[in-house]
Amino acid sequence: MLGRWLKRNRSTDDASNGHYRNGNSHLIELRKVVKNYETAAGPFPALKGIDLQVDPGEFVSVIGRSGSGKSTLINMVAGIDRPTSGEVLIGDTAVHTLSEGQLAVWRGRTIGVVFQFFQLLPTLTVIENVMLPMDFCHMYSARGRRERAMYLLEEMEMADHAHKLPSAVSGGQQQRVAIARALANDPPILAADEPTGNLDSKTADSVFSLFEKQVKAGKTILMVTHDHDLAVQATRTVLLADGEIIDDALNGHKSEQPFVSAKPGEDDA
């Protein structure tokens, strides 16, 4: 059953259903997404009826104060968290309807996730970390996995460090490895949560350039960032406040909105 689910083709017989199976006409569509977290004081609304559309090849940055819902939004797109209500549609997949097992397989093939704190396994070498998603999703042959991992490390200028442990390279280099790992299964989408938040400005610019290169290669990127200067270099910037989108426009044509950045490493609902 899972194999048939993975092999579904787009259904475009009914033009009223848009370009994808579930009626969405955009690669990423969030429809009236609400996310409530239970707290000692009662339900906390992290997202309040979010509507968001992202097309293939877009580079969208998400900004806002700490607690505005940025990370929760990214987690919805990546299938890391589930909405309390609403729909999360990615291509032909209604992500909010998948079981945990289906989510893991879908995420491994569809979304490359990049975290602020790298999340590399410390006991695996750099190349083994990059090969891990390929192993998990049973993609490529054993030889093909190693060859692809080396290719990606070369793209990230990390091939010379392939056989080192993550602790033997710098933070910026670890983030390059994390990006290579996110690209391991050639996913169409990258979801990055504060990918430069732990880096100095020069290294952050270098990592951002790597993302721009991936967009030019056809990837779609959704990136949470506290860095306003980097955010406005993306195709679009989405501004969140108190769980709601209050501005969503092409960069270069944005309305003036107040922006207060979160501090690097500061928790965001």
Query: What are 209-268's pLDDT values in tens digits?
Result: 999 999 999 999 999 998 888 999 999 999 999 999 998 878 754 434 444 444 444 445
User: What architecture does CATH give domain 56-80+106-250?
Assistant: 3-Layer(aba) Sandwich (3.40)
Which tokens belong to 71?
Answer: 């990370």
Q: What is the DSSP string of 29-97?
A: EEEEEEEEEEETTEEEEEEEEEEEEE-TT-EEEEEESTTSSHHHHHHHHTTSS--SEEEEEETTEEGGG
For the residues 179-183, what does the mean pLDDT come to? 95
pTM for this structure?
Answer: 0.83
Question: pLDDT for 50-109, tens place per residue?
Answer: 999 999 999 999 999 988 999 999 999 999 999 999 999 999 999 999 999 999 999 999
Q: Say what percent of the chain tops pLDDT 90.
A: 72
Q: What is the pLDDT of residues 42-57, one digit of tens each?
A: 889 999 999 999 999 9
pLDDT of 5 reads 44
HSE of 133, CA atoms in CB hemisphere, 13 A: 27
